Amino acid sequence: MLTVQINESEVKQLVRERITELVKEIDAEYVFWDAKELMRRTCMSWNFIQQQFFFDPRFPKFKVGNKWYFPARETREFLLRWLKEQKRS
């Protein structure tokens, strides 16, 4: 008979660390998002994005030709700030 003991808190910590690493890798994949990626990342429609925060002067955006681009890191930071502000409304 074989008995194995696992330290649950250590396993949880290892899992958290690995998840954090994977999230950083995923975030590092993109330098910027286009409108389609912004909609995917936020689970919001283009109309809703425009109504809620697109025209906020703090929202980082650049138009190149006919296409909008959003710096990934700055956009993520803005979205987190914006979402926290919605609690107060």
Residue 10 has a pLDDT of 92
pLDDT tens for 68-84 read: 999 998 999 999 999 99
The reported pTM is 0.66
Can you spell out the DSSP letters for 1-44? -------HHHHHHHHHHHHHHHHHHHHHT-SEEEHHHHHHHHT-
Q: Which amino acid is at 88?
A: R
Q: Is the pLDDT of residue 89 over 60?
A: no
For 21-57, write each residue's pLDDT tens digit: 888 777 667 789 999 999 999 999 999 999 999 999 9
